[in-house]
């Protein structure tokens, strides 16, 4: 095989894609698999808001199919500014907002704008794709191994020792894969640490920025509240770049409209980079969203039903796991807080199957669940966690309510068959 670039030769593929290939093979062979690995929505269960759909269709009928401006159409940036002001109390001008085709190109562009090869990037494990983006930049990985006792979120005490020399701190709340959140006090302390670190740096030194991924911020449940750095510490506006969009807020993962807010000088450089990538959200979708985002009543009505259906699924699966725990099985779960994810524990390493084989490692447990319980879930090792971690992500965006009882019958039966 021909020699390729160093990046291509060292690129690590998506562990979720690998698992997805194994699932697809089983489905092709006629198996019924309950695939809860996908951080997505089944549009038949969770369609996008009808008003947004109508606006998109109308925009195409009006031939809105040319290139959009590099930073996004002006009226959409105005609408985003209004939306975040109304719902989060954040003040950002249009020149501090960048539109792109979802969160991924924005995250990559933030890395490229702020991080050089060899620079230190701090991120939690488990967390979504920070390990891969750090690898793409050839930056220094500074990994915080998070624990169940802290809901798998990084604490100020975890972060503090690593701040010297770091240029980027990646925070995601509500977090993918855990569905857990940073509380107000923790985020305030983290902001204070960042502000103190930046105050200690000289004029010629790079500053430390927070990439604040809040793609799931609208999806909080119960008493859980979402907080952001800039609302808690206004001085953090100079050092925070948000990642946000409609993918999860409006079940619109395939519509591909995301945005960043941040200091104008950073956003301007991101615009230049994105103009070379061509990672724009389509013109029609931008025009449609510009009209939809200012329709506060329709958005409020949509959130009520949408969030209730997600919370119902999270609670049903959580209660099912806790019932199994009460029956003596070595399983557990963290109570639902936010997003479309539930963190569950299935600790079966060392157990013997009916054919006499031993589940020697966590990957054996994952395979056993897929083979015997017909349940596909993602181990935290796919998000940078330890390969031996017994914790998993369950995604409820594709869960049919009528399937949940069957899934738990299969799961309990498969657990009973172990010794």
Residue 268 host element (H or E): helix 264-277
Per-residue confidence of the chain (419 residues) as pLDDT tens digits?
A: 568 988 888 887 777 777 777 788 888 888 899 999 989 999 999 999 999 999 999 999 999 999 999 999 999 999 999 999 999 999 999 999 999 999 999 999 999 999 999 999 999 999 999 999 999 999 999 999 999 999 999 999 999 999 999 999 999 999 999 999 999 999 999 999 999 999 999 988 999 999 999 999 999 999 999 999 999 999 999 999 999 999 999 999 999 999 999 999 999 999 999 999 999 999 999 999 999 999 999 999 999 999 999 999 999 999 999 999 999 999 999 999 999 999 999 999 999 999 889 999 999 999 999 999 999 999 999 999 999 999 999 999 999 999 999 999 999 999 999 99
Domains detected in the chain: 6-46+300-416 (3.90.1150.10), 50-295 (3.40.640.10)
0.75 surpassed by pTM: yes
Compute how many other C-beta atoms are within 10 angstroms of the C-beta atom of residue 112: 17
CA proximity to 114, closest of 241, 212, 228: 241
Strands 97-100 and 258-261: antiparallel
Query: Under a CB-based contact definition with an 8 Å cutoff, are residues 290 and 79 in contact?
Result: yes
Residues 6 or more apart in contact with residue 49 via CB below 8 angstroms: 250, 292, 298, 299, 302
Distance CA 343, CA 380 (A): 9
């Amino acid at each position: 095989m021909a020699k390729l670039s160093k990046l291509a030769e060292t690129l690590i593929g998506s562990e979720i894609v690998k698992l997805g290939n194994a699932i697809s093979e089983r489905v092709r062979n006629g198996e019924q698999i309950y695939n809860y690995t996908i951080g997505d929505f089944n549009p038949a269960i969770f369609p996008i808001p009808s008003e947004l759909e109508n606006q998109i269709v109308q925009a195409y009928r009006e031939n809105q199919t040319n290139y959009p401006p590099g930073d996004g159409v002006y009226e959409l940036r105005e609408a985003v500014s209004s939306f975040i002001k109304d719902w989060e109390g954040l003040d950002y001008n249009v020149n501090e907002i960048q539109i792109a085709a979802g969160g991924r190109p924005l995250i990559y562009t933030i890395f490229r704008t702020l991080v050089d090869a060899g620079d230190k990037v701090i991120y939690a494990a488990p967390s979504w794709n920070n390990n891969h983006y750090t690898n793409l930049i050839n930056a220094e990985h500074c990994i915080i191994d998070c624990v169940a006792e802290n809901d798998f979120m990084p604490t100020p005490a975890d972060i503090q020792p690593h701040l010297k020399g770091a240029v980027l701190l990646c925070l995601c709340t509500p977090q993918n894969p855990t569905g857990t959140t940073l509380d107000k006090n923790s985020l305030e302390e983290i902001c204070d640490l960042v502000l103190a670190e930046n105050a200690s740096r000289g004029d010629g030194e790079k500053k430390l920025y927070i990439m604040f991924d809040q793609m799931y911020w609208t999806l909080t449940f119960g008493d859980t509240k979402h907080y952001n750095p800039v609302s808690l510490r206004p001085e953090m506006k100079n050092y925070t770049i948000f990642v946000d969009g409609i993918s999860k807020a409006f079940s619109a993962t395939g519509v591909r409209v995301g945005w960043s807010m941040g200091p104008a000088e950073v956003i301007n450089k991101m615009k230049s980079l994105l103009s070379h990538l061509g990672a724009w959200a389509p013109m029609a979708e931008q025009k449609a969203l510009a009209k939809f985002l200012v329709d506060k009543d329709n958005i409020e009505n949509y959130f009520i039903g949408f969030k209730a259906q997600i919370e119902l699924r999270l609670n049903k699966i959580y209660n099912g796991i806790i019932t199994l725990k009460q029956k003596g099985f070595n399983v557990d779960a963290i109570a639902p807080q936010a997003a479309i994810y539930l963190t569950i524990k299935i600790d079966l390493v060392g157990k013997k199957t009916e054919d006499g084989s031993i589940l020697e490692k966590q990957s054996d447990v994952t395979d056993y669940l897929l083979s015997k319980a017909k349940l596909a879930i993602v181990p935290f090792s796919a998000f940078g966690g330890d390969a031996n971690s017994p914790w998993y992500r369950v995604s409820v965006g594709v869960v049919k309510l009528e399937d949940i009882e069957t899934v738990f019958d299969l799961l309990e039966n498969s657990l009973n068959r172990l010794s």
